[in-house]
Amino acid sequence: MNDRKIMDKAEAKVYLLYLLKKLNEISEKKDIPIYASGGTCLGMLRHQGIIPWDDDIDIMIFRKDYNRFVEACNEMLEYPIVLRTRENDPYFYQEFAKICFICDDGSYSELAIDIFELDNTNPKRKLFRSVQNLIKSWLYTAKMFKVSKLGYGSYNPGSFVKRSVLNISSVLSLKAMDKLLLKTLTAEKKEGDYVINWGASYSYKKATYPREAFGTPKKMPFENTYVWSEQHPEMILERLYGKNYMELPPEDKRTDHGVQKFICSAIDLDQIRKEIDL
């Protein structure tokens, strides 16, 4: 039986805007450029806030700024807020980082701001990128499988053949998988005209963006606060959603993640509302 309890959208928005406030403070104090990504970028232009049926915030950061960003988060974020990464959580298998809450039982909240790194890429190197994508996908699935075998996930590969291949892959340590993944994602060393968000849920071809779209981040209205945007967010959105990205999708296409409710006695929802003026 599934006893998963989904958080109310209004409550999720309060927590997300609180995390966004903390993220903006870090970005501004440490002078680290960040950019709205995916649905957050779309919500910024189309809704001036979180898409009504969505329940997360997505941000992009250049790989060269990532280590500095991690250091800044470790310095400025206070319990129960934490930056979750592959570096500080060996059982974390996502290809991006998360700013989230530590729950009373020691787990991490599903509700989070996702932080995606932008890497160099060259669309003309089609075979090279295709191999990168295959290795990345294999390493992601292999770690998810091994983590589940260790009791920290629920991934089931289904077929006997796939399970057998993944069992062979499991000879690699979790740390070795992480190192190989980082080498794969950063294999393109030349800083050219394009960057890629390897952690995106979109295809790697869609998640390849012109570098000129970014530039110096600019403040854009978002709910009762702001997000940092690319200089040309339309260049990102057209690649992801097509030229008609400002049109609302049909109601049956308005899906969300359905984040699970969490218990964290170290935070006071009413106090958070006051802090973010909601």
Residues 165-203: pLDDT tens digits?
999 999 999 999 999 999 999 999 999 999 999 999 999
Region 58-63 average pLDDT: 98
- Taking CA atoms, 108 is separated from 33, 192, 200, 224, in Å, by 26, 37, 21, 27
3-state helix, strand, coil in the chain (%, to 5): 40, 20, 40
Q: Among 19-33, 84-98, 244-258, which stretch is predicted with the lowest mean pLDDT?
A: 244-258
pLDDT of residue 1: 41
Cα–Cα dist 110/265, whole Å:
16
Q: Are residues 206 and 271 in the same domain?
A: yes
In a domain, 3, yes or no: no
Q: Are residues 78 and 136 in the same domain?
A: no
Q: Are residues 130 and 234 in the same domain?
A: no
- Taking CA atoms, 43 is separated from 36, 51, 221, 227, in Å, by 9, 5, 10, 11
pTM above 0.75, yes or no: yes
In a domain, 52, yes or no: yes
In a domain, 102, yes or no: yes
What confidence tier does 36 reach under pLDDT thresholds 50, 70, 90?
Answer: very high
212 pLDDT more than 80: yes
- Residue 7 gets which letter from DSSP? P
Domain of 110 in residue numbering reads as 9-124+193-275
In a domain, 4, yes or no: no
* Structural domain count, the chain: 2
Region 142-158 average pLDDT: 95
In a domain, 2, yes or no: no
- Crossing angle for the helix pair 233-241 and 38-46, nearest 10 degrees? 110
Q: Are residues 111 and 131 in the same domain?
A: no
Q: Are residues 115 and 177 in the same domain?
A: no
In a domain, 79, yes or no: yes
Q: Are residues 100 and 235 in the same domain?
A: yes
2 pLDDT more than 70: no
Q: Are residues 16 and 137 in the same domain?
A: no
The burial class, CB within 10 Å (0-12 / 13-18 / 19+), for 126 is exposed
